[in-house]
């Protein structure tokens, strides 16, 4: 809706958010009962997948995006029946398909600017002393692994992005809630770095899909700026790399990120929150190793491809 509002010069935000809250409430009601058939499981999964995709395009949706990503992982592992009989079973081959297409196009050797990766690694390394919780330590270790791989191959590094997202589903409810707090400055700094590199890597691995939905870079820039605006003075120097990167690259491409991450669409005076609508997912707890399931990054990539197809059909 953010992109539609921008393109149509009208504000669709309020009705879209109201519809989103209704969808979350309906999903919560459904999750309170056991899944009895494949159609029911697929309906739950597609609902949380769409909510995740929506959150990824909401300028104030960073924490909601994390909650719904976690929801995707938990729903796919805990409330669906045999996944190999699901309508979404083809998701499991998508990662290999994306990698094969990218490798076939010679993209595995694309390393656009090693100085960017070096600066990113230095900035992330400076966050290590701040990481105290188990989830913080696991998340920063996964990020460093992604950066190391990216030195040789952006495409292969993009394949590792799901390792960070999967940590959100594997964490306990209390650990995730602590990590996703709006006043947890350490996790917010980690996320600011992560979303920048996530978007950059996806720009190589999924070039056509990313070009079809360019508004995503506006959202990433807004999230980084919002993190920067709410940091205490003692932490401000840690946001220098992500903030400089989005300001130099994204704003040069016409992305306007002002105070508190304001972007190019008009924000309603009062925005209903949908965060409170995901309590049922906390009841489900966390997930551990299980049968193969679609990773979080595959969920977002499929939604991007679906959105790309719809835009082409409307053109």
Q: How many residues does the chain have?
A: 315
SS3 157: helix
Sorted by sequence, the CB contacts under 8 Å of residue 64 that are 6+ apart come out as: 55, 58, 274, 275
Tokens of 203: 């720009």
The single-letter DSSP state of residue 107 is: G
Q: How far is residue 109's CA from residue 226's CA, in Å, rounded to a whole number? A: 34
Q: What sign for the dihedral angle of Cα 134, 62, 75, 86?
A: negative
Q: Give the pLDDT score at 268.
A: 32
The single-letter DSSP state of residue 80 is: S
Q: How far is CA 64 from CA 43, 68, 181, 222, 275, in A?
A: 20, 6, 11, 14, 6
Which element (helix H / strand E) includes 54?
A: helix 38-55
Tokens of 147: 């950066």
Q: How far is residue 247's CA from residue 239's CA, in Å, rounded to a whole number? A: 12
Q: Give the pLDDT score at 168.
A: 92
Q: Give the pLDDT score at 295.
A: 46
Burial label, 308 (beta-carbon count in 10 A; 0-12, 13-18, 19+): middle
How much is the pTM? 0.76
Q: Give the pLDDT score at 96.
A: 62
The single-letter DSSP state of residue 159 is: H
Q: Give the pLDDT score at 247.
A: 82
Q: Give the pLDDT score at 93.
A: 60
| Residue of 40, 13, 238 whose CA lies nearest to 120 | 238
| Residue of 27, 81, 66 whose CA lies nearest to 283 | 27
Q: How far is CA 65 from CA 280, 285, 312, in A?
A: 16, 18, 26
Q: Give the pLDDT score at 38.
A: 84
Q: What is the pLDDT along the chain (315 residues), one digit of tens a residue?
A: 555 555 556 677 788 888 888 888 888 888 888 888 888 888 888 899 899 988 888 888 999 999 999 988 888 877 777 766 777 776 656 556 655 655 555 444 455 567 778 888 999 999 999 999 999 999 999 999 998 888 888 878 887 888 899 999 899 999 999 999 999 999 999 999 999 988 888 776 665 555 555 567 888 999 999 999 999 999 999 999 999 888 877 655 554 444 444 433 333 333 434 444 454 454 445 555 444 444 444 444 444 443 333 334 333
Q: Give the pLDDT score at 57.
A: 85
Sorted by sequence, the CB contacts under 8 Å of residue 259 that are 6+ apart come out as: 229
**Could you give the dihedral angle defined by the CA atoms of residues 237, 241, 242 and 244, in that order, rounded to the nearest 10 degrees?**
100
Q: Give the pLDDT score at 135.
A: 97
């Amino acid at each position: 809706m953010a992109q539609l509002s921008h393109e149509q010069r009208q504000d669709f935000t309020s009705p879209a958010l109201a519809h989103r809250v209704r969808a979350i409430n309906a999903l919560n009601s459904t999750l309170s009962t056991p899944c009895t058939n494949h159609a029911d499981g697929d309906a739950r999964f597609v609902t949380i997948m769409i909510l995740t995709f929506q959150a990824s395009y909401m300028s104030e949706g960073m924490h909601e995006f994390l909650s719904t990503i976690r929801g995707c992982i938990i729903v796919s592992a805990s409330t669906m029946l045999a996944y190999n009989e699901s309508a979404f079973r083809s998701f499991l081959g998508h990662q290999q398909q994306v990698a094969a297409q990218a490798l076939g196009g010679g993209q595995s050797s694309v390393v656009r600017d090693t100085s960017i990766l070096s600066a990113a690694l230095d900035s992330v390394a400076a966050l290590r002393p701040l990481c105290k919780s188990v989830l913080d330590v696991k998340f920063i270790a996964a990020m460093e692994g992604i950066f190391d791989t990216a030195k040789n191959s952006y495409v292969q590094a993009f394949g590792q992005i799901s390792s960070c997202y999967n940590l959100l589903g594997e964490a306990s409810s209390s650990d995730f809630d602590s990590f996703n707090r709006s006043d947890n400055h350490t996790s917010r700094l980690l996320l600011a770095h992560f979303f920048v590199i996530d978007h950059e890597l996806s720009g190589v691995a999924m070039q056509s899909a990313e070009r079809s939905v360019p508004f995503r870079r506006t959202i990433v820039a807004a999230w980084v700026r919002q993190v920067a605006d709410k940091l205490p003075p003692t932490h401000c120097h840690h946001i220098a790399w992500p903030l400089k990167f989005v300001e130099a690259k994204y704003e040069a491409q016409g992305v306007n990120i002002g105070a508190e991450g304001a972007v190019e669409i008009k924000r309603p005076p009062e925005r209903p929150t949908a965060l409170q609508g995901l309590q049922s997912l906390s009841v489900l707890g966390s997930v551990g190793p299980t049968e193969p399931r679609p990773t979080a990054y595959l969920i977002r990539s499929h939604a991007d491809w679906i959105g790309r197809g719809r835009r082409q059909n409307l053109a």
